[in-house]
Amino acid sequence: MDSNSKATGSPPIEGKGTVASKSENNNNPSAVKNQPGLPSDNSTASQRSRILRHLQVIGPITTLQARHLLDIMHPAQRCLELKKAGKRIVCIWTNDVTPEGYSHRVGKYVLLPRKQLTIDDFLPGKKDVD
């Protein structure tokens, strides 16, 4: 055990002999801020907008794809919020593979077309008209 390991109680990183700092581990938030391709606004409204635009323009997206491509860590919640706002989004269970090569059972989100109204939707006794 080296002197740094004794002082911190942390095991050394193999090949280094000391524990890496946050910047060495790329865990420093300021190191990734405003990098090309990453959204600068990560508010929930911005996340909902990104996932809705993807569903409208490109099509279905899995949980892992939303996390990696759109930087949305909890796409299920964003889709639920969109559903509550009236969007017709369904979740289909599927298998997807992480960039590290591990398979996971995840949700695949699909935006359904707007419901086509018929004359029956306007008759008395109908509750919902989209």
**For the chain, domain boundaries:** 42-114
Please check the confidence at residue 129 and state whether its pLDDT lies above 60. Answer: no
pLDDT above 90: percentage of residues in the chain: 54
Compare 122 and 4 and report the one with higher pLDDT. 122
Q: What is the DSSP letter of 119?
A: G
Residue 24 pLDDT = 42
Residue 55 burial (10 A CB sphere; 0-12, 13-18, 19+): buried
pLDDT above 70: percentage of residues in the chain: 65
Please check the confidence at residue 17 and state whether its pLDDT lies above 80. Answer: no
pTM, whole model, 2 decimals? 0.61
E strand or H helix that includes residue 55: helix 44-57
Per-residue pLDDT band for 37 (boundaries 50, 70, 90) equals: low
Residue 124 pLDDT = 77
- Read off the pLDDT of each residue in 99-106 and give the average, rounded to a whole number: 95
CATH class of 42-114: mainly alpha
Core vs surface per residue 116-126: b (16+ CB within 10 A) or e = eeeeeeeeeee
- Read off the pLDDT of each residue in 26-36 and give the average, rounded to a whole number: 44
Per-residue pLDDT band for 14 (boundaries 50, 70, 90) equals: very low
Taking alpha carbons only, the member of 95, 56, 52 closest to residue 70 is 52
Which of 78-82, 86-90, 124-128 shows the lowest mean pLDDT across its residues? 124-128
Taking alpha carbons only, the member of 115, 91, 120, 85 closest to residue 105 is 91
